[in-house]
A = this chain, B = another copy of it.
């Protein structure tokens, strides 16, 4: 089975919006083994929409659209489909009732134009939208299928997973789906990781492919099978093999990140953390606090941005700064230690360095120091990111600090 995606909306042709719906559908269709050869983006123009439908059905069996289901005059997707199918539009009283209730709930009057959304071309079914006023439609006749979605990503995604995805999967003659799992690595580069799994990169089902970005590396394992369970059973042994080869560098899977994994490890060990940040300026604290339940292990963060307040409020000795520079391993370690002692936590993180593009204090721009400290353990790393952008240096610093702590926690 072949599909085409048609994204409808003049705002897409003006570049006001990045089309994330297209990549969502692309990924999802691939996951249920449906080939996608064309994605077409067009404006709110009747003639062009209808001709896009004609062309798509010459090339494919399934048309998936996003956009143009709203109440305004330029929302014409369903009207175009009625024309394309040479049918009228019928009022669906159940949609109309739902619309009435929606407006009543919000204490607002339903204007007449909203009722437009209760009409669907004859011979099509409702594709229910539980998160907005715009329902989509399902058309399925003579082996040709149309599914329509509103442009709002939240609505489109839930309609897809609740209804459309299982619907299309069940229509497949040879049911097969594709499932991926991302294994995440920190502290080692892409080529070194790829080299250690070069034998696995040649596998055909599942496949293994490396990706790099944002201070970490991923290995994606992708299996094709007739069910989720079978795909899982193909992925599992390869995942175990890979994790065995990287006892230190593998840190988590799929949507996990270094901060969430550090949080999980701290909860497991019933330990607590405080941080004292200089150049990372709150990014380490923010990344930790972004995780629900952070209050179980994170108690305190300090952004000691000025030298004076590093001395006054964090208790770093002036002599240490004078001897080694404020940008030094020694100061990073002392920040981690002082914040830990001050707060009575098990672990402290300290960061100091130069995120701006200027050398200072005989230290090269882009040089950063991150440290962790507990009663038993101290670790510190110096890293240099010459010529990098400020925000990237800050993020890499937070990655390095969190990874140091992770390594200490799994030891």
Contacts and interface: CB of A to CB of B under 8 A. Distances in A.
Interface of A: 12-20, 22-30, 36-43, 45, 48, 275, 281-286, 288-290, 292, 294-295, 298-306, 308-309, 313, 342-343, 356, 390-391, 394
Given A15-B25, A285-B285, A302-B303, 20 more contacts: A14-B26, A15-B29, A17-B23, A18-B18, A19-B23, A38-B48, A40-B41, A281-B285, A281-B286, A281-B288, A282-B282, A282-B284, A282-B285, A285-B286, A289-B303, A289-B305, A300-B302, A300-B305, A300-B313, A302-B302
A281 B294 contact: yes
Given A15-B23, A19-B23, A289 B282 contact: yes
B292 A281 contact: no
A285 B299 contact: no
A22 to B, nearest CB: 6
A66 B42 CA distance: 18
A284 to B, nearest CB: 8
A292 B356 contact: yes
A17 B27 CA distance: 9
Contacts of A292: 356, 390
Contacts of A43: 37
B295 A306 contact: yes
A289 B19 CA distance: 31
B42 A37 contact: yes
Contact of A295 (B16, B25, B284, B305): B305
Given A15-B27, A282-B285, A39 B37 contact: no
A290 B281 contact: yes
Nearest to A27: B15
A285 B283 CA distance: 8
A363 B394 CA distance: 35
A350 to B, nearest CB: 15
Contacts of A342: 313
Given A48-B37, A286-B282, A24 B13 contact: no
Contact of A282 (B36, B41, B42, B303): B303
A286 B283 contact: yes
Contacts of A313: 300, 342-343
A309 B339 CA distance: 12
A40 B300 CA distance: 51
A137 B304 CA distance: 51
Contacts of A37: 13, 42-43, 45, 48
B289 A299 contact: no
A390 B260 CA distance: 15
Top 3 nearest A-B pairs (CB, nearest first) are A281-B289, A15-B27, A282-B285
Nearest to A295: B305
A18 B14 contact: no
A305 B301 contact: yes
A303 to B, nearest CB: 3
A308 B342 CA distance: 12
A306 B299 contact: yes
A286 B286 contact: yes
A283 B289 CA distance: 9
Contacts of A26: 12-15
A43 B207 CA distance: 19
B305 A302 contact: no
B303 A300 contact: yes
A18 B26 CA distance: 10
A38 B41 contact: yes
A25 B292 CA distance: 39
Contacts of A304: 300
25 contacts: A14-B26, A14-B30, A14-B36, A15-B26, A15-B28, A16-B27, A18-B18, A18-B20, A19-B22, A40-B41, A281-B294, A282-B283, A282-B284, A282-B286, A285-B285, A294-B305, A295-B306, A300-B305, A300-B306, A300-B313, A301-B301, A301-B305, A309-B343, A313-B342, A313-B343
